[in-house]
Amino acid sequence: MSSVMMSATSILKRPEARVSKITEDLVLPRSISVKSLVAGIIGFLFGTIFYIIFYSILFNFTITSFFFVSLLFTFIFVFLINYQPLRGENWGSFINLQAGTSLAGKVEIDGKRVKAYIGIARLSTSAAGRIDIISSAQEVLPGSVDERGVSKR
């Protein structure tokens, strides 16, 4: 059984949306991604709900403990959204790659049934018809891409 490796980079992905100004008077010191902002808001809401349901019933309500629990949930949600188990890939991509690798079968390339990959993602199907793999190269200026092959511009 042979494997075929193809290379594709995330240079075709659009950059993530970022925000640096909430209102005229509220300007952040640096821009943050919108997904981190939304995850922080959702984490804070979940922390507040958790505090109201469990913590305040078992213990006395204090503003310090309320903010501690809510901010802890905020931190956890933002961490889970931004943590990258593989460099450049989020949790969703990582889980999808793991599930796809275990479920994907072999595809036919050059008349042979092989496992084909684009980067680290195994292909489950290929285009109809014959596929020919050819070698090619393009000159890349030193320092213009990172270690994954993604353009730095």
Residue 2 belongs to some domain of the structure: no
Tell me if 125 is assigned to some domain: yes
CA–CA separation, 63 and 48 (whole Å): 11
Residue 80: which of 71, 69, 92, 88 has the closest Cα? 92
**Span 20-47, mean pLDDT?**
89
Over residues 111-127, mean pLDDT: 66
Going by pLDDT thresholds of 50, 70 and 90, the confidence category of residue 30 is confident
Q: Classify residue 141: in a domain, yes or no.
A: no
pLDDT in tens, 68-112: 999 999 999 999 888 877 776 777 777 777 676 555 556 666 667
Backbone angles phi, psi at 72, to 5 degrees: -65, -45
Q: Are 73 and 47 spatial neighbours (Cβ–Cβ below 8 Å)? A: yes
Number of domains in the chain: 2
Considering the domain boundaries, does residue 38 fall inside one? yes
Least confident of 37-46, 77-86, 134-143: 134-143
Residue 19 maps to a domain: no
77 and 105 both lie in a single domain: no
Domain that holds residue 100: 89-131
Of 60, 82, 104, the residue that ends a domain is 82
On whether the CB atoms of residues 74 and 67 are closer than 8 A, the answer is no
Q: Enter the DSSP assignment of 145.
A: B
- Round to whole Å and give the CA distance between 118 and 142: 24
Q: Are 94 and 117 members of one domain?
A: yes
Count helices and strands (H / E) in the chain: 4, 6
Establish if 118 belongs to a structural domain: yes
CB 73 within 8 A of CB 44: yes
Q: Do 74 and 37 belong to one domain?
A: yes
Q: Which of 104, 101, 103, 79 is nearest to 90 (CA)?
A: 79
- In this structure, the answer to whether residues 36 and 70 fall within a common structural domain is yes
Q: Does 76 share its domain with 35?
A: yes
> What is the value of pTM for the model shown?
0.54
pLDDT at 55 over 70: yes
User: Is residue 111 situated within a structural domain?
Assistant: yes
